[in-house]
Structure 1
Amino acid sequence: MYVVASSVMCPDVIVVGAGPAGLSAAHVLSENGVDFRLFSREQVPGIDKCCGGFVPARMMSEFGIHPFEGCYAINSVRMKFPGMDPVRVDFDFPIGYDVARYRLGTFLLERVGRNKEFVSLETEVSNVVIDNSGCHVTIETPNGRDTEDAEILIDCSGANPVSIRHGYVRGRIPNSEMGYGRQYILERGPNTDEYDNVIDFFYGHEYSPGGYAWLFPRNDIAVIGTGGLVSRVRDDETPLDTYLHRFMDHVVIGEQLRGSHVVSKEAALMPLAGIVTPSFSNRVMLAGDAAGHCSPVSGEGIYYSMVGGACAGEVASLAVDESNFSEKSLIRYEKLWRSRMGSDLKWGAWLQHRLLDGGSSSLGSSLLRSEKYQRIVAEMLIGERSVRSAIIACAPGYLRAKIGL
């Protein structure tokens, strides 16, 4: 646990949130020698976060991260589409790792290095005021209320970010573009086989209200969940728990979970809006879920949050060096993250709308039965292939299926 009185009297940057975005920003700021403070309400980074925990291999590669304690290698993707049996796509290499969010958070905190002393946990930002003189935050600590000032605020405080709640940057993402997920944490029973190294995606109205159900295993723990857009979840008469039990009752999932028991239940919001702008204003940048940095197709947000946080850290470092904290200076942030991941978010939103309007069956059953196109879809879901590339690769097969060739 880190609850530290920093030696930095007035840091250049305040980071709110110790998720992948916040800790990625802190890592970049630390590397660039920028004075910062990071505040997080959690006692351990990620301990309270509802998350499947899949870390794509491309995140590990792009950020120079090797498997760490608690990483469970995944080598296969299993998918079920309406009217079809589950299909499994195997890979010759780890496509990613399932890991508990507190283990990921602890690792990313250590990655900040010696400057992790400027990270204050169990410290919640309760108020934000931004004016021409700087950013002023009120913090609630175990020892009482305090204040902190800085030149720039990087808000990584989740899908309902504190800066937006206090009237800065933009309005809240609407329920028609915000996802809601419900998941169970299961523990493997004694004298049962280890979980297989496969992640599951089950599509169709039998398993979710317009989204999909998932199963992510990690050692002796499995995470199963389902969900959809908030607006659809609210309008649907079937409780999410009913969808989850249908999912668990499927013969393939039931075999994987045989002997397991539920140890906890949780739920969370996730932005599924695609590109959300603006992501900055005078002295403020949003990153991670706060900025909508989450795949509209798969709901995977760890990779996108890491990219968004790193971009915010880079631009904040430049702004501090130039002593320019205006919108004209911080616009570089939005341009940077859009150049690095904007295509996935844009085309992911397009594909999501297409699937919601017609269901996964609208892609054509003959296309989805093809091993070639099943692999393309699997590669897209795990981040081994961009969404745009997957759409282009599937287009010929889709057209052939539609005209009956």
Structure 2
Amino acid sequence: GSVVKEGDSVVGVKYNQSEEERASLTVGADGAFSRVSATAGFTHPKWLLSYGYRFKLSNCKGIDPNVAYFYVGNDVGLGYLWLYPRSETEINLGIGRVPSSKTNWHALPPMQDVLRKYMKTHPETQNAKIESVNGGVVPCAGIIPKFTDDGVALCGNSAGQVSSIIGGGVTTCFHAGQVLAKHAKRMADSGDFSKKSVKEYEKEYMKSKLASSITNTGKGMWAVSKYAMFNDPIAAAEIVLGQLDARTLNELIQGKASVATIMTLMSDFLPMVAKIGVGYLRAIAVSGL
């Protein structure tokens, strides 16, 4: 619900016209479309969202429970299709994509159609049963500039605490929750829920390696989305992914690649880097930053 304010301080949330709950600390862990965030006055510059769709499948065959699979392609769009094993016979089959533009988005097949096509064309899932279907929205432009204030703190998707490249949030949001819980106890013990006190949670979280990784990959994801407005990111990805070793690719995805590694890659892929650079500048010139 919407937050309740007294002066500049958040003192609770209102569920409807007559019901509200008050607390010394209000936590907005209510997702990418956070009402707490919106009504508390937090801003989301360059808010980029990824849309996901998932099937939970049973009666699968030949599944290695120790291996997860990721696929990119023209029908997937700016994103990827994933297969996460739950057991030797159960998997999560999903797809996530970022709408780089309305034209590009509407040109793609519906996400559920892409998943059903995968099921039909892979022997592991041809006879599988769809047990459940769900979907969601994940922010993928990095952590928002500010996620604490007097009496209020954001946590998880509402704060953009999600891996921007792969859209994963279990580890990153769990870490944020742990940090917030520690500081919530400190605030409760001291009775201090002021803006300065709540901000200690934000400060500690932003010093973590996970926060640094999210910030770095968020910048990259925003640049890729701009490039994809007028260019084909899949063609570029196929060339690059086909030549990168697993270790380097993992470092890039996690935002941990060293400057030396990035410079080497830019040198090795100079023609592609130049082409992408021109395409990116063209997109910026047309749509702005």
Q: TM-score, normalised by structure 2?
A: 0.77
Are 1:245 and 2:113 counterparts? no
Are 1:128 and 2:6 counterparts? no
**C-alpha distance in 2, partners of 1:282/1:164?**
13
- Classify 1:171/1:351 alpha carbon distance in 2 versus 1 (closer, same or farther; 3 Å): closer
Output one character per residue of 1:142-187: Cα deviation in whole Å (capped at 9) or x when no partner: xxx865322111221222223134x10414676x601111121211
Are 1:223 and 2:92 counterparts? yes
- 1:325 corresponds in structure 2 to 193
**C-alpha distance in 2, partners of 1:223/1:256?**
13
- 1:359 corresponds in structure 2 to 233
SS at match of 1:276: coil
**C-alpha distance in 2, partners of 1:256/1:173?**
42
Are 1:158 and 2:158 counterparts? no
Instruction: Say if 1:294 and 1:300, in contact at 8 Å, map to a contact too.
Output: yes
Aligned CA RMSD, in angstroms, stands at: 3.0
**C-alpha distance in 1, partners of 2:265/2:44?**
38
- 2:214 corresponds in structure 1 to 345
- 1:236 corresponds in structure 2 to 106
Instruction: Say if 1:373 and 1:394, in contact at 8 Å, map to a contact too.
Output: no
**C-alpha distance in 2, partners of 1:380/1:200?**
18
Output one character per residue of 1:76-96: Cα deviation in whole Å (capped at 9) or x when no partner: xxxxxxxxxxxxxxxxxxxxx
Amino acid at match of 2:91: A
CA-CA distance at 1:351 after TM superposition:
2.6
Point out the structure with the larger strand share.
Answer: 1
Once the two structures are superposed, the pairs formed by residues 288-327 of structure 1 within 5 Å of their partners are: 288-327=156-195
**C-alpha distance in 2, partners of 1:368/1:398?**
14
Point out the structure with the larger helix share.
Answer: 2
> Which consecutive unaligned segments of at least 5 residues does structure 2 have?
273-289
- Classify 1:224/1:232 alpha carbon distance in 2 versus 1 (closer, same or farther; 3 Å): farther
Instruction: Say if 1:182 and 1:267, in contact at 8 Å, map to a contact too.
Output: yes
SS at match of 2:183: helix
**C-alpha distance in 2, partners of 1:202/1:391?**
27
Once the two structures are superposed, the pairs formed by residues 179-258 of structure 1 within 5 Å of their partners are: 179-188=50-59, 192-206=61-75, 208-219=76-87, 220-230=89-99, 232=101, 235-237=105-107, 238-250=109-121, 254-258=122-126
Once the two structures are superposed, the pairs formed by residues 39-118 of structure 1 within 5 Å of their partners are: none
CA-CA distance at 1:272 after TM superposition:
0.7
Structure 1 segments (4+ residues) deviating >6 Å: none
Instruction: Say if 1:169 and 1:278, in contact at 8 Å, map to a contact too.
Output: no
Are 1:334 and 2:206 counterparts? no
CA-CA distance at 1:230 after TM superposition:
4.7
SS at match of 1:226: strand
Sequence identity, in percent?
Answer: 21
Instruction: Say if 1:279 and 1:285, in contact at 8 Å, map to a contact too.
Output: yes
> Which consecutive unaligned segments of at least 5 residues does structure 1 have?
1-125
- Classify 1:199/1:173 alpha carbon distance in 2 versus 1 (closer, same or farther; 3 Å): farther
- 2:242 corresponds in structure 1 to 369
- Classify 1:343/1:392 alpha carbon distance in 2 versus 1 (closer, same or farther; 3 Å): farther
CA-CA distance at 1:227 after TM superposition:
2.4
Instruction: Say if 1:195 and 1:217, in contact at 8 Å, map to a contact too.
Output: yes
Amino acid at match of 2:114: Y
- 1:50 corresponds in structure 2 to none
CA-CA distance at 1:379 after TM superposition:
5.8
Once the two structures are superposed, the pairs formed by residues 243-282 of structure 1 within 5 Å of their partners are: 243-250=114-121, 254-282=122-150
Instruction: Say if 2:156 and 2:173, in contact at 8 Å, map to a contact too.
Output: yes
For residue 137 of structure 1, the aligned residue among 4, 13, 20 is 13
- Classify 1:312/1:236 alpha carbon distance in 2 versus 1 (closer, same or farther; 3 Å): same
- 1:21 corresponds in structure 2 to none
**C-alpha distance in 2, partners of 1:157/1:139?**
13
Instruction: Say if 1:178 and 1:271, in contact at 8 Å, map to a contact too.
Output: yes
- Classify 1:230/1:269 alpha carbon distance in 2 versus 1 (closer, same or farther; 3 Å): farther
Amino acid at match of 2:136: A
**C-alpha distance in 2, partners of 1:215/1:364?**
19
SS at match of 1:213: strand
**C-alpha distance in 2, partners of 1:240/1:363?**
20
SS at match of 1:243: helix
**C-alpha distance in 2, partners of 1:199/1:394?**
26
Output one character per residue of 1:246-301: Cα deviation in whole Å (capped at 9) or x when no partner: 44455xxx133242122222211111111212101110000011111111100000
SS at match of 1:387: coil
Instruction: Say if 2:10 and 2:40, in contact at 8 Å, map to a contact too.
Output: no
How many residues were matched structurally?
261
SS at match of 2:26: strand
Instruction: Say if 2:37 and 2:154, in contact at 8 Å, map to a contact too.
Output: no
Output one character per residue of 1:27-60: Cα deviation in whole Å (capped at 9) or x when no partner: xxxxxxxxxxxxxxxxxxxxxxxxxxxxxxxxxx
**C-alpha distance in 2, partners of 1:164/1:205?**
35
- Classify 1:268/1:306 alpha carbon distance in 2 versus 1 (closer, same or farther; 3 Å): same
